[in-house]
Structure 1
Amino acid sequence: MQGNSATGCRVLCVASAGGHWVQLQRLRPAWDGCAVTYVTTRAGYEAQVAADAAARGQPAPRIRVVTEASRWQKLKLLRQLAELALILLRTRPQVVVTTGAAPGYFALLLGRRLGARTIWVDSIANAAELSASGARARRHADLWLTQWEHLATPDGPAYAGAVL
């Protein structure tokens, strides 16, 4: 995914707050040099991301915050879906990368329909089985990864390492 914003490499990186966000941040060297927009469910990550970008000599990426929602909060999920649709329409990413959960699933679903390449990296916390979002993401992900070698199968997800 090497590139730079001058060549138009646009990456949308999506993760729920907490552990999903931490794992997504550990992957960030993969999109160095690209025009990155982050999407998460918690305000307050802006300073962390800006400081990290400055330390690496990169421009500060944009960050968008969407409604936090779980599968038991249907109305909030609909709001989150609408918010992600607007973000995707405005940013027109070439690649969507996510470590989950619900906002990542929606970003893959919508991103693929808009022609973006999509990458799902299932949570390191799901050691015994894939996450519910990860299992659903399968049909929307161009690259579907697990961070546990024993969960990889010939039909996917693939194992390419972990971001412990």
Structure 2
Amino acid sequence: MKVMFVTSAGGHLAQLLPLESWWKDCTRQWVTFRRPEVEAALIGEDVTWCYFPTTRNVPNAIRNLFLAWPTLRRSRPDVVVSVGAGVSVPFFLLARLFGIRTVYIECFDRITMPTLSGRLCYPMSDVFCVQWEEQLRYYPDAINIGPVL
């Protein structure tokens, strides 16, 4: 299976790394921010660097939309997986357009309020996962996978 992980750096990326037992045998590509700690965490991985910052930054959202088009067309993943944040939205939008399955995992630390990217990606997700029972209040069709950290 070909998996594309689209994620912000820091805590978002940190929530995908513990899932290695699931993704280690998959062909994978990462889309994230070029930061020293990310480069260190993803040594030897196929990484496409996206534009930062993304949270409520319309020009970079547009740049990431134009990045998503050739990246998805070239890679043709079976599924796009994200924990957010803003970079997930343009990739999910085009993944849906291309018929690529999408999986979103709502952030570990947003228990009582949904994230903006979660709210935007929820209707575009084939599978939407939460990590806390309380998050189901905002995402009633989600699957509670429990904390990944």
TM-score (norm 2): 0.89
Give 1:71 shift. Answer: 4.4
Give 1:43 shift. Answer: 3.8
Give 1:82 shift. Answer: 0.9
Contact 1:84/1:103 (8 A) holds in 2: no
Which residue of structure 2 aligns with residue 35 of structure 1? 27
Cα deviation, 1:104-142, whole Å, max 9, x if unaligned, reads: 122222112212111000111101121111011111100
Contact 1:14/1:107 (8 A) holds in 2: yes
Q: Does 1:150 align with 2:134?
A: yes
- How many correspondences in the alignment? 147
Q: CA RMSD in A?
A: 1.7
Give 1:162 shift. Answer: 1.2
Gaps of 5+ in 2: none
Q: Distance in 1 between matches of 2:55 and 2:145?
A: 29
Cα deviation, 1:37-83, whole Å, max 9, x if unaligned, reads: 01101243234223xxxxxxxxx430111001334321121111111
Once the two structures are overlaid, the 10-residue window that deviates more, 28-37 or 145-154, is 145-154
The structure with higher relative contact order (CA 8 Å, sep 6+) is 2
Q: Distance in 2 between matches of 1:46 and 1:69?
A: 17
- Superposed, 1:101-116 pairs within 5 Å as 101-116=85-100
Q: Distance in 1 between matches of 2:130 and 2:55?
A: 21
Which consecutive segments of 4 or more residues in structure 1 shift more than 4 A?
Answer: none
- Superposed, 1:10-159 pairs within 5 Å as 10-44=2-36, 45-50=38-43, 60-153=44-137, 155-159=140-144
Contact 1:147/1:161 (8 A) holds in 2: yes
Q: Which amino acid aligns with 2:89?
A: Y
CA 1:28–1:110 in 2, change beyond 3 Å: closer, same or farther?
A: farther
What percentage of residue pairs aligned between the two structures are identical?
Answer: 29
Q: Distance in 1 between matches of 2:107 and 2:55?
A: 17
Contact 2:95/2:102 (8 A) holds in 1: yes
Q: Which amino acid aligns with 2:105?
A: V
1:119 alignment partner, SS class = strand
Contact 1:112/1:118 (8 A) holds in 2: yes
Greater C-alpha radius of gyration: 1
